[in-house]
Amino acid sequence: MKPVKIGVLGLGTVGGGTVNVLKRNALEIARRAGREIVITRASAKDLNRTRICDTHGIALTSDPFSIVNDPEIDIVLELIGGLSPAKELILQAIANGKHVVTANKALIALHGNEIFDKASAQGVMIAFEAAVAGGIPIIKAIREGLSGNQIEWLAGIINGTSNFILTEMRDKRRNFQDVLGEAQALGYAEADPTFDVEGIDAGHKLTILASIAFGIPLQFDKVYTEGITEITPEDVVYARALGYRIKHLGIAKKTSAGIELRVHPTLIPKERLLANVNGVKNAVVVNGDAVGSTLYYGAGAGAEPTASAVVADVVDVVRALTGDPENRVPHLAFQANAIMDLPVLSSDQFISAYYLRLTAEDKPGVLAEVTRILADHQISIEAIIQKEPNHGKTTLPIIMLTQKTLEHEMNAAISKIEQLTTISGKVNRIRLETLG
């Protein structure tokens, strides 16, 4: 059987790692795929740049469209990233009847519905395991390994930059800006870190996971995102004192009212496995009705961890090349005619417990005023820490944990608390999930 010919678009970190893995493990990969897999062409902006991979035997070009239009290429690996020209390249590859493997989470989250429709019409596959959590095979696990379950919820640390920052803030009591600067120096964060620290990157990934878990269309515009920029060292310390750790989570839940899609800082009990995922590592917990909770942990980025997922997709595509297109694993786990446009809840419909930190005047009756407002909104208090005021100050911090409540009730209560003359500044609010 003749070799399968691969065209790689982009020879940066992921592209270079993929070339290395495909070359180094060529024999083992062929044993698994059933056919030899050969990279014949690759594109890069700068053909003279020093690379992390050996491009010997690969025809290089600065024109990626020449690869997707090459009739000899069987599978296109889109590893450029971004929305354009990545989208145009993938659509052209589909039009030419080529299968595509991509690591592009933003493109899938924003334009995946269109891309999958066109791919299905052409009878080609779009594989995207590397788009979420790097080398962790979380998409395959949900789409195939857990296909006998109704997925009830999933929660994940799916952005390594934010996890690194929160880990350093906890372990070394550093502030956000200092750790962000180090993350940028180490290459964990971009010069503009907005996508990472404001939850946009995690939102893209959660969009994909939720679609596969619940059989709903991809709809990033309905994901609630909140970043970690307002988390202080004090919050980290108080959370620890209460038996919790703060993690930046992507959470998707299926409720009787609809689907919750949210990315935000979250207190979780310190004994949970997810609470002990540190540094730049990623982890996802998936809860199914039959299997219960399962945890997937590993490297969420990097050249070869991500290449591991890309190459696994290539093997899947090669295995399916001679199969019946009607019987392939669906792109989003559910058959295309079974995708259900379930309602996605707005943030004020979320149900969660909360951590509240407020600065109050050191005088009698203040705490009673606050608890009365919470009670008026049917919000029960689970725990309270009232600290002594610092020397010479007339205010003190009050920390509360509440039981679960509707978010719109919490929003209304916080608004009233902030209007009290005995409360200074904003009430700092962090959601709390037990993940039990």
Give yes or no: residues 59 and 91 share one domain: yes
- Number of domains the chain is built from: 3
Instruction: Write out the two tokens for 402.
Output: 């509440």
Same domain, 71 and 188: no
Say if residue 321 is in the same domain as residue 370.
Answer: no
Do 272 and 149 lie in one domain? The reply is yes
How are beta strands 281-288 and 292-299 bridged, if at all? antiparallel
Please report which confidence band the pLDDT of residue 392 belongs to, taking 50, 70 and 90 as the band edges.
low
Domain ends where: 338, 359, 390? Answer: 338
290 inside domain: yes
Question: Is 343 within a domain?
Answer: no
Shared domain for 102 and 157, answered yes or no, is no
Provide DSSP, 188-257.
Answer: SS-SS-HHHHTSHHHHHHHHHHHHHHHT----GGG-EE--STT--HHHHHHHHHTTEEEEEEEEEEE-SS
Question: 3-58 pLDDT, tens per residue?
Answer: 999 999 999 999 999 999 999 999 999 999 999 999 999 999 999 999 999 999 99
Q: By mean pLDDT, which of 319-328, 392-401, 421-430 is the weakest?
A: 319-328
Q: Is the pLDDT of residue 271 over 70?
A: yes
Residues 292 and 149 reside in one and the same domain: yes
Q: How far is CA 248 from CA 1, 199, 283, in A?
A: 48, 8, 11
Do residue 267 and residue 403 come from a single domain?
A: no
Confidence band of 394 (pLDDT split at 50, 70, 90) = confident
CA triple 103-105-111, angle to 5 deg: 115
Q: Where does a domain end: 338, 359, 389?
A: 338
Residue 229 makes CB contacts below 8 A (sequence gap 6+) with 176, 197, 198
Task: Examine the pLDDT at 132 and tell me if it is beyond 90.
Answer: yes
Average pLDDT rounded to a whole number, residues 66-71: 98
280 assigned to some structural domain: yes
Q: Do residue 308 and residue 427 come from a single domain?
A: no
User: Residue 389: pLDDT above 80?
Assistant: no
Q: For residue 252, what is the domain's CATH number? A: 3.30.360.10
- Is the domain of 81 the same as that of 148? no
pLDDT tens for 179-189 read 999 999 988 98
State mean pLDDT over 158-181: 96
* Final residue of a structural domain among 320, 338, 356: 338
pTM above 0.75, yes or no: yes
What's the DSSP call for residue 344?
B
Whole-angstrom distance, CA of residue 176 vs CA of residue 389: 24
For residue 118, the domain's CATH number is: 3.40.50.720
* Model confidence at 395: pLDDT above 80: yes
The residue segments making up the domain with residue 191 are 138-299
Residues of the chain with pLDDT > 70, as a percent, come to: 98
The pLDDT of residue 308 is above 70: yes
Q: How confident is the model at residue 391 (pLDDT cuts 50, 70, 90)?
A: low
Q: Is residue 347 classed as helix, strand or coil in its secondary structure?
A: helix
Is 45 among the catalytic positions?
no
Catalytic residue among 98, 140, 205, 281: 205
Same domain, 312 and 371: no
Q: What amino acid is encoded at 404 in this protein?
A: K
Task: Judge if 46 and 169 occupy the same domain.
Answer: no
pLDDT in tens, 333-388: 888 888 999 999 999 999 999 999 999 999 889 999 999 999 999 999 999 998 77
* 152, two tokens: 């009830």
- Do residues 74 and 5 touch, judged by C-beta distance below 8 A? yes
b or e along 12-41 (b: 16 or more beta carbons within 10 Å of the residue's beta carbon)? bbbbbbbbbbbbeeeeebbeebebebbbbb
Q: Which of 342, 262, 300, 330 is nearest to 112 (CA)?
A: 330
98 and 35 co-located in one domain: yes
Residue-wise pLDDT tens digits, 210-264: 999 999 999 999 999 999 999 999 999 999 999 999 999 999 999 999 999 999 9
